[in-house]
Amino acid sequence: MVSPRIGVRNGILFDGENLGPAMKTLDWIRASQAILFEASIVPAFVGTAAAVGAGASFEPFRFGLILVSLVGIQAGANLFKGFYEGQDRSAPPSSEGSWFAFDSAAATKLTRDPRTVLLVGYACFGLGALAGLGLVVVTRNPLLLAFGLAGAFLAWSYSSPPLKLSYRGIGEIATFLAFGPIMTVGATVAFGGEGLVPSFLASVVLGLLAAAISFARYFPNRDEDLSKGKRTPVTILGAHRAKVIFVGILSLPVAVGIAWLPVRGGILWIVVLAAFVILVIRSFPDNLGPSERYDVTIALTIACHVFAGVGLVLNFSLGL
């Protein structure tokens, strides 16, 4: 007789008593989509670098509050997405086990009662909101409250009822605003508002790349999304036309960077980003059918965002 603690995960037999805690931790990390936390961390660094590069003083405590606020709210929103999308089992998960594509089954398998996931999401979201309020108090800048409320609203509404923006074909607009201008310019405002123009230009770059990450994650889930009646660019346009739009969104930041050059924009991040865009395009599976795995494409799209962010920080700090 097999012990109930013995199970199979990804074709490998494991002992739940010995590996349970470690595996459970990995499950929570994957379900919270922690690999995407860089989408919040990068704007915090870039927005801060824009302000410091323009003459503002760097304050570690203030920066820490920014990071906790942005990552906490994103973690909560990701768990909300996992919970609400996991409730609809009209189709099997298209990306079960993936760390890069969205796995709609990841969150609901964490506990016996899936509502626990929702409670953890509330806790993360609340922690982020509390840090944001602390930032408003520390800076004595009520404008930050408007940035925080706008960001929290978009994060909550992306997959949570009643709006469920990602089900209505406008999820990428919300992603662009939240992970672009709101986070990046908000970080600059938190340090006094110096460097707002370069911060805004950088926020357009980061917002477009964040939208591209979200866009790329729709390709492997096309069948599941169709079954759920979810309107995404891929279900609306079809995979081939959606790929053209995706490549356009991914390439636009390079054009923004080139247009930025005459007003003292840096060139290093543009070159690096252009190289990664080419790698992303080449990584697309030849067969764009929904059964294909897109993990490499999604991972490279995330890398575009990370390296563009690093390049922008170097631009603001060293003029590269």
Domain count, the chain: 1
d(Cα 141, Cα 138) in Å, to the nearest integer?
A: 8
Q: Assess if residue 102 is contained within a domain.
A: yes
Q: Assess if residue 19 is contained within a domain.
A: no
Q: Which domain holds residue 211?
A: 27-318
Which pair of tokens denotes residue 296?
């490499």
What is the model's pLDDT at position 21? 67
Q: Assess if residue 244 is contained within a domain.
A: yes
Helix (H, G, I), strand (E, B) or coil at 246: helix
Q: Assess if residue 15 is contained within a domain.
A: no
Q: Assess if residue 314 is contained within a domain.
A: yes
Q: Assess if residue 120 is contained within a domain.
A: yes
Which pair of tokens denotes residue 53?
């590069």
Helix, strand, coil percentages, rounded to 5, for the chain:
70, 5, 25
Q: Assess if residue 11 is contained within a domain.
A: no
Q: Assess if residue 69 is contained within a domain.
A: yes
| DSSP H or E stretch at residue 6 | strand 6-9
d(Cα 121, Cα 8) in Å, to the nearest integer?
A: 27
Instruction: Return the residue matching tokens 């053209």.
Output: 244
What is the model's pLDDT at position 5? 39
> Are the beta carbons of 263 and 257 closer than 8 angstroms?
no
Please give the chain's pLDDT, 320 residues, in tens.
Answer: 333 433 444 433 333 444 466 668 888 999 899 999 999 999 999 999 999 999 999 999 999 999 999 999 999 999 999 888 887 777 778 888 888 988 888 887 787 778 889 999 999 999 999 999 999 999 999 999 999 999 999 988 888 888 788 888 888 899 999 999 999 999 999 999 899 999 999 999 999 999 999 999 999 999 888 888 888 999 999 989 999 999 999 999 999 999 998 877 778 889 999 999 999 999 998 777 766 779 999 999 999 999 999 999 999 988 77
Residue 169, burial from CB neighbour count under 10 angstroms (0-12, 13-18, 19+): middle
What is the model's pLDDT at position 109? 78
